[in-house]
C-alpha cells in the first residue's frame, strides 16, 4: 500500500512515500543525500524479499480484518499502527516534523490520495472480491502512473515502447476480469474500487512531485507527517459511517495490527533503506512480486478460487508495466533519465503499497 516508486513514472501504492507504499506502492531517494554509517545487518536482497512478502500478504490481512471490523475501522487501525512505528523511528533519529502551513496543506492532500483513499477503497473492495483480485488490481498502478505522467510530467515522453506497454498492460486487465465472458460472476463495484485505489497512487505521486519536491525535509519526516494526517482524516470520517464495535474479534484485530505495523510502518522503513542503498530502480522491482505473493496467499490460506485467466492476465499486466518502465539506450533517452534522476533526488517518495 500504504504507502510504489515512480518509474519513469510512478505500488501501493505504492505506495508513502511513496508514504505508499503497494501497489503499486509506490519510492524515490531521500530529499537529502544519505550516507550509511554502517552496513545493514541483513543483505539488501533479504530485505527486498521481506518487503515483497509483507506487501504481498497485506491483501490477505485486509480480507481478514474486514471479517471482524468495518472497512473504515480497518483502515484507521492500519494507519494508527503504521504511524506509531514511523513516529518511534522519528523520535529515535531525533527528526522533526515539517513546518509551515503550505507544507501541511499539501501533505493533507497527499495523505488523502496516497493513504486514506486507496487504503479505504481496498478495504471496501475486499468485502465483495477476493484478495487475489485486489492484489492484481494493485499491480495496474504503474500502468495508470505511466499514462498520467505522459500527460502531466513533461520529462516523460511518449515512446512506442511505452505506448505498447500500456496497451499490453490493459489487455492483461481485461484478461483478468474475463472481458470476453461479459465480466460474468465478477463484482463490478468491488473491482472498480480496487482499480480506483490503484489509480489514486500515481495521482498522489504526481501531486507530491509537483508540490513537495525540494521542500528541504527528509522523506522520513514527510512520511511521518503524511501518515499522521491520514490517521486524523480517518479518525474524523470513521465515526460518521461506523459505530464502535460491540466486541473485538482477536484474529481480525491481530490482522489489522500486522497490516499497520508491518504493511505500513515497517514496510516503509525497509523501502526507505532499499532506495538509499540500491536506488529507486531496483527497489521498485518489488512491485512485480506483490501480485504473485498476494495470489498465492489468497489461494493457499483463504481457499480463494483461481481461474486460468487470473494468473495469465496478471502476467500480461506485469509484462506491460515492465515495458512502460523500460527505455532504449540512446543519447536523448539518457538525457531524459538524467533529468528524471535529478528531479527524484528532490522528490519525496511515494507511499508504501498497497
What tens digit of pLDDT does each residue of 215-250 get?
888 889 999 999 999 999 999 999 999 999 889 999
Tell me what pLDDT residue 336 has. Answer: 47
Cβ(201)–Cβ(350) under 8 Å?
A: yes
Q: Which cell numbers in the block locate residue 112?
A: 488523502
pLDDT digits (tens, 9 = 90+) for 76-130: 999 999 999 999 999 999 999 999 999 999 999 999 999 999 999 999 999 999 9
pLDDT digits (tens, 9 = 90+) for 288-308: 888 889 999 999 999 998 888
pLDDT digits (tens, 9 = 90+) for 4-25: 333 333 334 334 444 444 433 4
Cβ(21)–Cβ(13) under 8 Å?
A: yes
Non-local (6+) Cβ contacts of 186 within 8 A are 129, 177, 178
Helix, strand or coil, per DSSP, at residue 14? strand
Instruction: Please give the helix or strand (H or E) that residue 185 lies within, else none.
Output: none
Residue percentage of the chain with pLDDT more than 70: 77
What's the 3-state SS for 88-155?
A: HHHHHHCCCCCCCHHHHHHHHHHHHHHHHHHHHHHHHHCCCCCHHHHHHHHCCHHHHHHHHHHHHCCC
Tell me what pLDDT residue 12 has. Answer: 41
Query: Rounded distance, CA 126 to CA 256, Å?
Result: 14
Tell me what pLDDT residue 353 has. Answer: 58
- Which 8-state DSSP code applies to residue 11? -
Query: Rounded distance, CA 77 to CA 66, Å?
Result: 11
Closest CA to 18 of 174, 145, 155: 145
pLDDT band with cut points at 50, 70 and 90 for residue 60: very high
pLDDT digits (tens, 9 = 90+) for 143-153: 888 888 777 76
pLDDT reading at 161 higher than 60: yes
Cβ(274)–Cβ(283) under 8 Å?
A: yes
Cβ(81)–Cβ(264) under 8 Å?
A: yes
Closest CA to 219 of 80, 16, 43, 44: 16
What DSSP string runs through 216-276?
A: SS-HHHHHHHHHHHHHHHHHHHHHHH----SS--HHHHHHHHHHHIIIIIIHHHHHHHHHH
pLDDT band with cut points at 50, 70 and 90 for residue 185: confident
Amino acid at each position: 500500500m500504504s504507502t510504489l516508486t515512480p518509474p519513469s513514472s510512478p505500488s501501493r501504492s505504492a505506495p508513502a512515500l511513496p508514504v505508499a507504499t503497494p501497489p503499486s506502492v509506490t519510492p524515490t531517494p531521500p530529499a537529502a543525500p544519505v550516507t550509511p554509517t554502517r552496513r545493514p545487518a541483513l543483505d539488501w536482497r533479504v530485505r527486498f524479499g521481506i518487503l515483497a512478502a509483507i506487501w504481498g500478504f497485506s491483501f490477505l490481512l485486509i480480507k481478514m480484518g474486514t471479517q471482524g471490523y468495518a472497512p473504515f475501522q480497518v483502515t484507521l487501525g492500519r494507519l494508527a499502527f503504521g504511524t506509531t512505528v514511523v513516529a518511534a523511528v522519528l523520535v529515535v533519529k531525533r527528526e522533526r516534523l515539517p513546518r509551515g502551513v503550505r507544507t501541511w496543506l499539501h501533505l493533507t492532500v497527499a495523505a488523502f490520495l496516497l493513504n486514506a483513499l486507496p487504503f479505504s477503497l481496498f478495504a471496501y473492495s475486499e468485502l465483495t472480491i477476493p484478495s487475489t483480485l485486489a492484489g492484481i488490481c494493485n499491480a495496474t498502478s504503474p500502468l495508470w502512473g505511466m499514462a498520467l505522467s505522459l500527460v502531466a510530467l513533461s520529462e516523460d515522453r511518449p515512446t512506442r515502447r511505452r505506448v505498447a506497454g500500456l496497451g499490453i498492460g490493459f489487455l492483461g486487465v481485461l484478461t483478468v476480469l474475463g472481458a470476453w465472458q461479459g465480466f460474468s460472476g465478477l463484482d463490478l463495484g468491488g473491482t472498480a474500487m480496487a482499480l480506483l485505489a490503484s489509480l489514486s497512487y500515481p495521482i498522489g505521486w504526481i501531486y507530491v512531485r509537483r508540490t513537495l519536491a525540494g521542500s528541504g525535509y527528509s522523506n522520513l519526516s514527510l512520511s511521518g507527517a503524511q501518515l499522521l494526517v491520514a490517521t486524523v482524516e480517518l479518525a474524523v470520517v470513521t465515526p460518521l459511517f461506523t459505530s464502535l464495535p460491540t466486541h473485538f474479534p482477536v484474529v481480525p484485530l491481530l490482522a489489522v495490527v500486522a497490516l499497520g505495523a508491518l504493511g505500513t510502518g515497517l514496510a516503509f522503513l525497509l523501502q526507505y533503506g532499499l532506495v538509499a542503498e540500491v536506488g529507486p530502480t531496483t527497489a521498485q522491482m518489488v512491485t512485480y512480486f506483490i501480485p504473485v505473493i498476494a495470489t498465492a496467499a489468497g489461494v493457499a490460506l483463504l481457499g480463494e478460487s483461481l481461474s486460468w485467466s487470473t494468473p495469465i492476465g496478471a502476467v500480461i499486466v506485469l509484462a506491460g508495466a515492465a515495458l512502460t518502465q523500460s527505455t532504449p539506450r540512446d543519447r536523448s533517452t539518457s538525457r531524459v533519465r538524467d533529468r528524471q534522476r535529478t528531479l527524484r533526488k528532490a522528490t519525496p517518495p511515494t507511499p508504501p503499497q498497497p
